Amino acid sequence: MLVPLSWLKKYVKIDIPVDEFVRRMIMSGTAVEGYEDCGAEIKNVVVGRLTEIVPHPNSDHLSICQVDVGQEAPIQIVTGANNMAVGDYVPVALHDSYLPGGVHIKKGKLRGEPSNGMMCSGEELGVPADVYPSNTDHGLLILKGEQIPGADIKPVLGLDDVIIDFDILANRPDCLSVLGLAHEAAVAAGNPVVEPNYEYATHGGSIDDEVRVRVDDPDLCKRYCAAVIRDIKIEPSPLWMRQALHKAGVRPINNIVDITNYVMIEMGQPMHAFNLDAVRGRQIIVRRAKKDEEMMTLDSKDRKLTPNMLVIADAEGATGLAGIMGGEESEITESTQVVMFESACFDGANIRQSGRSLGMRTEAQGHFERGVNVRLCKRALQRALALVDELGAGKVVDGIIDIYPNEEPVPVVQADVKYVQTLMGIDVPAEKMAKILEQLDIKTIVKGDQLICESPVWRQDIKVGADIAEEVLRIYGYDHIPSTLMKGKTMGGHNSAHQLRDAKLRALLCGMGAFEAITYSFISPKWYDALRLCEGDPLRLSAKLLNPLGEDYSVMRTTLIPSMLDTLSTNINRGNAGAALFEIGKQFLPKSLPLEELPEERPALCIGLYGENATFYTIKGMVEALLTRFGVRNVSWKRSDAPYLHPGRSAEVYAGDQLLGLLGEVHPDVAENFKFKRRAYVAELNLNALDACETGVGDAKDMPKFPAVQRDFAFVMKEEVPVGDVMRIMEKSAGALCEEVKLFDIYRGVPIAKGEKSVAMSIALRAADHTLGEEEITRVTDKIIAAVSTEFCAQLRS
């Protein structure tokens, strides 16, 4: 918040250097970003009075001026300006003077005539036309009123001031005002605060005859105050007000609007002025907006409102957005005759939501969001009326409307002295605490071992004992806290189970030559069409973002496959010969739509690869290796019907009855949809299922003492019989003697009939306590042949 030091000095005497004042403010808890001396760059510039103006003999656009600058005789200055007259007062940069931007002025000659300096425009001195209306775009700055020739120009133009940039924290909304900061400055400077004038004269009439006010939604408007001023005179504000507003970062407009802005900065209470003649029915209604209601705000933009927005309405419709911006219909103009001032306390959360929904941001909105003091609404209105009276801007009508149904009392906090001392970490006597709190205008009584504290009317943050401790300590001084060694037990950090799992996956996959990829969790819904998912597919049930970056990033993904395919496509189309990538991410799976609760965030692993040596068995081998390292048992494979995978080169992987994931070659149509024409392979595993099936690597076993026996089998069976099922039947039939089953050949062709295949497998048999005899081996092999023949209608090939 930008605050001119001259404005602060209106309410508290500050007789210490600026740097010391800033240091004290910081040490007492009010942060300062920095400060700027308005006239630091201006040197040797004074007030001059024009005593003579004659044309330049050698130029048709220059004039020779004699200027009284408080010296023994006037000095001669040549100028190209033409907006001055004899008797005018103007800023004069003398010989060896400096202007903003480091401009150095020296005496010299112009077209043969000596010029002992330069008369200045407002732009050259950094004075905007909003502050000094006589400052034209092309001409000298003409000073108003009687001036003293030779006087320093900085006090005349208000440039002998310092602007301090305060950083106001969220818990101190009272300091978003000059008066709030004045109370803090009073403690830093050691001087009392002088309140501004709240007194004003009224000129008869009754406000009840001028306007009627009704608050329909008191939950969003705690208090509403209004006053009426007649016989308005719209004109520029006085120079002191224009200067104050400009230095605080607000553009002066006219006296009525400037008064509302001045009070907002001075007291932290946003105000609004209505052209009462434009308020239809002379009625003000504070209510929620109606469905599809529209209005035009002061920035000439049409706003479509929703029922959760608070508006100020007249008898026919909305005429202002409460706490944000007024309506164009009731704008103050040069013809305005009757004005109603509004000073209210609106709900900050509602103001914030309404502003964000409409894409609006105003100074008043920021004040309401931080919290406006409901107890100061009427006082701020009285201050505005006092300024109207002081400036002669109009005649105040008798009476103030004050709708305040649930009056909030001034908070009283009772705090235990020992508790406060414990919080501070130092033993400050109760009497000392009371003295410090009284400095902060917190009325305090010491009653035994209790502090009974009444918050000042302008403070909203004094609510509990901890607040009392903070107030005492920041004034008493943080440097009084003794230094102590850190206490407590240190605990070693550790990775969580899922972090260890992810690290293990990364190590294994990187060891297989894959690189990790990271993609956005939000994707385009068009990608579901690219995957050939049918309309009712569960993967299409995606949570939509309320404020997406665009259509391509508008839903939360339910699968990592499209992100991986997009990444593979990018690598293929950029000429990379091959790639092996993996991503560990989350699938966002809603339980229902529209969302009633947060979606399940299921961790998943996606692998993608393509290249000369990449095949279905490559990616299957990678998945098998992962499952082996995680100790997953009873692994089986079944054909997958995923629409984005090749129907003949895809599979689902199970651990017992638990589905772990799927893998396969990308369907050619899907590859085309993702704009690549090479064969690519993907796999996606459910990491929650992997965790549930993980057993770790088995215990080490003794070396076998007895030899193994190997027998080979070749079965002829139907083409559609899964080989994995055959291997599991063989393993089950052999029982405890089975050590390993391997597939070593699949044959199709003569003499095998069409639609059949010959599958050759090897089984290793071993007993842990004896050497197997031929009879025992034959019994096991016969059992295997019978089981396979019965289960799959297979024949042993001779």
Residue 747 has pLDDT above 90, yes or no: yes
- With tokens 């004109």, the residue in question is 235
The residue-averaged pLDDT of 648-670 equals 95
CB 738 within 8 A of CB 772: no
- With tokens 């026996």, the residue in question is 709
Between CA 655 and CA 658, with CA 657 as vertex, the angle to 5 degrees is 60
Per-residue pLDDT of 64-102, as tens digits, reads 999 999 999 999 999 999 889 999 999 999 999 999 999
**Backbone angles phi and psi of 649, in degrees to 5:** -135, 60
By C-alpha distance, which of 770, 761, 780 is closest to 713?
761
- With tokens 């569960």, the residue in question is 538
Encoded amino acid at 56, one letter: H
User: Looking at residue 46, what is its pLDDT?
Assistant: 96
Encoded amino acid at 552, one letter: D
User: Looking at residue 135, what is its pLDDT?
Assistant: 57
User: Looking at residue 242, what is its pLDDT?
Assistant: 93
Strand blocks (E) in 483-538: 515-516, 522-523
Classify each residue of 698-727 as buried b or exposed e, where b means 16 or more C-beta atoms within 10 Å of its C-beta. Answer: eeeeeeeeeeebeeebbbbbeeebeeeebb
User: Looking at residue 698, what is its pLDDT?
Assistant: 59
User: Looking at residue 724, what is its pLDDT?
Assistant: 85
Per-residue pLDDT of 389-439, as tens digits, reads 999 999 999 999 999 999 988 899 999 999 999 999 899 999 999 999 999
For residue 371, CA distances in Å to 3, 60, 128, 351, 401 come to 20, 62, 33, 11, 22
The verdict on domain 412-479 having CATH code 3.30.56.10 is yes
HSE-CB for 360 with a 13 A CA cutoff: 27
207-403 CATH fold? Phenylalanyl-tRNA Synthetase; Chain B, domain 3 (3.50.40)
By C-alpha distance, which of 671, 402, 705, 441 is closest to 562?
671
CB 668 within 8 A of CB 646: yes
CB 752 within 8 A of CB 716: yes
Q: What is the DSSP letter of 197?
A: P
What is the greatest pairwise CA distance in the chain?
138
User: Looking at residue 50, what is its pLDDT?
Assistant: 96
Residue 487 has pLDDT above 90, yes or no: no
For residue 474, CA distances in Å to 177, 188, 345, 424, 482 come to 20, 11, 30, 10, 15
For residue 255, CA distances in Å to 387, 404, 753, 769 come to 10, 29, 102, 107
Residue 798 has pLDDT above 60, yes or no: yes
User: Looking at residue 470, what is its pLDDT?
Assistant: 93
CB 756 within 8 A of CB 719: yes
Residue 634 has pLDDT above 90, yes or no: no
Classified as helix, coil or strand, 637 is strand
Classified as helix, coil or strand, 452 is strand
CB 115 within 8 A of CB 102: no
For residue 546, CA distances in Å to 90, 555, 599 come to 59, 9, 15
The residue-averaged pLDDT of 310-316 equals 94
Q: How far apart, in whole angstroms, are the C-alpha atoms of residue 173 and residue 169?
A: 8
User: How many whole angstroms from its chain centre is CA 413?
Assistant: 34
Classified as helix, coil or strand, 273 is strand
User: Looking at residue 402, what is its pLDDT?
Assistant: 96
Pairing of strands 283-288, 212-215: parallel
Q: How far apart, in whole angstroms, are the C-alpha atoms of residue 106 and residue 98?
A: 9
- With tokens 């007259």, the residue in question is 85
Strand pairing partners for 77? 65
The verdict on domain 709-796 having CATH code 3.30.70.380 is yes
Q: How far apart, in whole angstroms, are the C-alpha atoms of residue 554 and residue 561?
A: 17
The residue-averaged pLDDT of 339-365 equals 93
Q: Which class in CATH covers the domain with range 43-156?
A: mainly beta
Pairing of strands 302-304, 310-313: unpaired
For residue 221, count CB atoms less than 10 angstroms from its CB and return exposed for 0-12, middle for 13-18, buried for 19 or more. buried
Give me the helix-helix angle, 465-476 and 430-439, nearest 10°. Answer: 80
575's CB contacts (< 8 A; 6+ apart) are: none
User: Looking at residue 262, what is its pLDDT?
Assistant: 96
Two tokens at 663? 């893998």
pLDDT band at 137 (very low <50, low <70, confident <90, very high): low
Q: How far apart, in whole angstroms, are the C-alpha atoms of residue 136 and residue 256?
A: 24
Residue 321 has pLDDT above 80, yes or no: yes
pLDDT band at 312 (very low <50, low <70, confident <90, very high): very high
Strand blocks (E) in 182-270: 212-215, 221-230
For residue 450, CA distances in Å to 169, 412, 434, 453 come to 29, 13, 11, 10
Per-residue pLDDT of 508-563, as tens digits, reads 999 999 999 999 999 999 999 999 999 989 999 999 998 888 889 999 999 999 99
Residue 293 has pLDDT above 80, yes or no: yes
Residue 702 has pLDDT above 60, yes or no: yes
Residue 307 has pLDDT above 90, yes or no: yes
State the chain's mean pLDDT as an integer: 93
Q: How far apart, in whole angstroms, are the C-alpha atoms of residue 15 and residue 162?
A: 14
Strand blocks (E) in 102-220: 103-105, 108-110, 113-115, 117-119, 162-167, 212-215
User: Looking at residue 134, what is its pLDDT?
Assistant: 60
Classified as helix, coil or strand, 503 is helix
The percentage of residues in the chain with a pLDDT greater than 70, rounded to a whole number, is 99
> What does CATH list as the number for 2-38+162-189?
3.30.56.10
Classified as helix, coil or strand, 24 is helix
Higher-confidence residue: 171 or 670? 670
Q: What is the DSSP string of 545-601?
A: PSS-SSGGG-EE-S-SHHHHHHHHHHHHHTT-S-EEEEEEEEEEE-SSSS-SSPPEE
The superfamily in CATH containing domain 497-693 is: Bira Bifunctional Protein; Domain 2 (3.30.930.10)
Q: How far apart, in whole angstroms, are the C-alpha atoms of residue 730 and residue 135?
A: 101
The residue-averaged pLDDT of 447-470 equals 92
User: Looking at residue 756, what is its pLDDT?
Assistant: 93
User: Looking at residue 136, what is its pLDDT?
Assistant: 59
CB 221 within 8 A of CB 347: yes
User: How many whole angstroms from its chain centre is CA 631?
Assistant: 45
Q: How far apart, in whole angstroms, are the C-alpha atoms of residue 576 and residue 467?
A: 64
Q: How far apart, in whole angstroms, are the C-alpha atoms of residue 682 and residue 649?
A: 11
Classified as helix, coil or strand, 644 is coil
CB 678 within 8 A of CB 671: yes
User: Looking at residue 697, what is its pLDDT?
Assistant: 62
pLDDT band at 701 (very low <50, low <70, confident <90, very high): confident
By C-alpha distance, which of 420, 425, 30, 423 is closest to 434?
420
Q: What are the boundaries of each domain within the chain?
A: 2-38+162-189, 43-156, 207-403, 412-479, 497-693, 709-796
> Which stretches within 48-97 are classed as H helix?
none
User: Looking at residue 67, what is its pLDDT?
Assistant: 96
Q: How far apart, in whole angstroms, are the C-alpha atoms of residue 591 and residue 543?
A: 10
Q: How far apart, in whole angstroms, are the C-alpha atoms of residue 122 and residue 131?
A: 10
The residue-averaged pLDDT of 630-655 equals 92
Residue 616 CB: number of other CB atoms within 10 A?
17
Residue 736 has pLDDT above 70, yes or no: yes
Same CATH fold, 412-479 and 2-38+162-189? yes
Strand blocks (E) in 289-338: 294-296, 302-304, 310-313, 318-321, 325-326
Q: How far apart, in whole angstroms, are the C-alpha atoms of residue 335 and residue 43?
A: 43
Residue 786 CB: number of other CB atoms within 10 A?
11
Per-residue pLDDT of 16-70, as tens digits, reads 999 999 999 999 889 999 999 999 999 999 999 999 999 999 998 999 999 999 9
The residue-averaged pLDDT of 701-728 equals 90
Residue 278 has pLDDT above 60, yes or no: yes
Q: How far apart, in whole angstroms, are the C-alpha atoms of residue 794 and residue 711?
A: 18
The residue-averaged pLDDT of 480-508 equals 88
CB 75 within 8 A of CB 67: yes
- With tokens 């200055």, the residue in question is 77
For residue 765, count CB atoms less than 10 angstroms from its CB and return exposed for 0-12, middle for 13-18, buried for 19 or more. buried
Q: What is the radius of gyration, based on Cα positions, of the chain?
A: 42
